[in-house]
Structure 1
């Protein structure tokens, strides 16, 4: 006959395991059960990589997509291919106990069929960035008080950036180009939300979607006061029909960002405040103020 005390120990172990388990809902509206805080994380989206690190869990990352490059400490980690089309074999070979990936990526169901725990998240707005921060914190076993503190610091950084911009620089019409196709950032994107918080007007309405492909003639008709774009876009802008006659070009009110600055600007994650400060520096320069 089994010793009754053994059942007590089994019950205690089960209770301990259940106490560590958490259930989080991802952007597919799936409830993902995480039995214990993960120790081996693969992140396949730069904003998610940066979120893990902002929560002080960088050391648990074992593999990344090819575009994750911040903070500096992650740059030597193995690469799993692109965020949209990760290498299934490379990810599985790392034996992760959590895979973080975007809703636009392929392979989540296949990873799950292979027994991996997958959390699908893709922030597109400030509210999304806050929600994703808290969801990742919960999945990683990071106390809510800590994720709350991280978000307060991010939000306070955006507020400080807005307060540093002189009133005479506000109210201008802005065009932000996020890739050379050209694709722009509209009012409904997190970049558009940042511009609104800085007191700017976005020439791209929310009705176009967050990051619409733009007819270059639209920008000519809108006549933005300031243009913000990456170096890769700035190089060919003047060749677009009518763009050389834009007031922003003629008055030198075009800010070209380096690849590192562009990464900061276009990722809806913990560096939103740094992106806001980057925009403010541009607006200060184009307004003739000392940055």
Structure 2
């Protein structure tokens, strides 16, 4: 069953897989089926071997002609990221489409296991899913019961955006003993302004940035020296591919996020 609640049935394990988001590409490789991937989209950069696979556009606009020409027997779609009408076109062409959008730690592990089942790589998928779950459980146990730290996670800069507690990143903040200052908002990815952040006065600000080594979003907050996070030098960065993709590498992103929150806790700024 995919993340839309649809049963997806194949007559035999998939042999030619199209992964239609960078996260889907990582998940298929994690499931042990990387050798079966024949199509990816832009920014599918992990593992490095994914960069050698034919790209069929971006996750927001697929080149359907190029995709169909590669004759995949399974496409891995992104529920809210891929254009619905394009995935519906693939289904109309009798291509199996499996929709994913993990919204929890358990969802990431389940996605790996389900993709492995579709690809006939069940044992490898279970092993990776178990390793990921164990790593997240260890982090949860390590930071359980610690004093909460007011945390602002910046997922985008223009417009300024964060996440609420229902978002996977929001769940990681809680796992680390953070208190998401925008966790109670209704929207999964709420839009904000500087005034909202100033009013929340977080003890730590963590940015995902636009690139793996791009920290310039944090420089913006330095203009507000009265913010607790600025005053106590608690402006931190986590490479977005480690925390903004629902893949096994989330365990590494979560570890970094927890360490940043722990630094703010140690600075006495809960």
* TM-score, scaled to structure 1: 0.80
Deviates more, 1:221-230 or 1:123-132: 123-132
Residue 163 of structure 2: which of 181, 185, 209 is its match? 185
Secondary structure in 2 aligned to 1:34? coil
Structure 2 equivalent of residue 90 of structure 1: 66
| Larger CA deviation: 158-167 vs 72-81 | 158-167
Offset, 1:132: 1.9
Q: 1:184-214 deviations in whole A, cap 9, x for unaligned?
A: 1221111111121122211112442322112
Instruction: Select the structure of larger CA radius of gyration.
Output: 1
| 1:249 and 2:230 are equivalent in the alignment | yes
Would you say 1:38 and 2:35 are equivalent positions?
Answer: no
**Residues 163 and 183 of structure 2 are in contact (CA less than 8 Å); yes or no, is this contact kept in structure 1?**
no
- TM-align CA RMSD: 2.5
Q: Give me the whole-angstrom Cα distance separating, in 2, the residues matched to 1:241 and 1:70.
A: 32
Spell out, residue by residue over 1:20-60, the C-alpha distance to the aligned partner (whole angstroms, 9 max, x if none). Answer: xxxxx323333222111111111012222111111211111
2:46 and 2:248 map into 1 onto residues whose CA distance is 11
Aligned to 1:14: none
Matched residue, 2:120: 141
Distance 1:206 1:46, change over 3 A: farther
Instruction: Specify whether residues 244 and 92 from structure 1 end up closer, same or farther in structure 2 by C-alpha distance, changes over 3 A only.
Output: farther
1:66 aligns to 2:47 (yes or no): no
| Residues 220 and 242, structure 1, Cα contact 8 Å, conserved in 2 | no
Other structure's SS at 2:58 match: coil
Mapped pair 1:235 → 2:216:
yes
Per-residue deviation, 1:275: 1.4
* Equivalent residue in structure 2 for 1:150, among 112, 120, 128: 128
**1:235 Cα offset (Å):** 2.6
Deviation of residue 114 (structure 1)? 2.0
User: What's the CA shift for 1:288?
Assistant: 6.0
In structure 2, C-alpha distance between the alignment counterparts of 1:163 and 1:112, rounded to whole Å: 43
**The one of 94, 97, 106 aligned to 1:118:** 97
User: Which position in structure 2 is the counterpart of 1:264?
Assistant: 242
Shift of 1:254: 0.3
Q: Which runs of 5+ in 2 are unaligned?
A: none
- Distance in 2 of aligned mates of 1:36 and 1:243: 59
Residues 202-235 of structure 1: CA deviation (Å, up to 9, x unaligned): 1112442322112322211111110000344853
Q: How does 1:272-287 map to 2 (within 5 A)?
A: 272-286=250-264
Question: Does the 8 Å CA contact 2:149/2:265 hold for their aligned counterparts?
Answer: no
Structure 1, residues 229-283: CA drift from partner, whole Å, max 9, x if none?
A: 03448535555798443111122100023xxx21111111222211111112323
Instruction: Say yes or no: does 1:78 pair with 2:57.
Output: no
Aligned to 1:47: 23
| Matched position secondary structure for 2:94 | coil
Q: Which of 107, 110, 113 is equivalent to 1:131?
A: 110
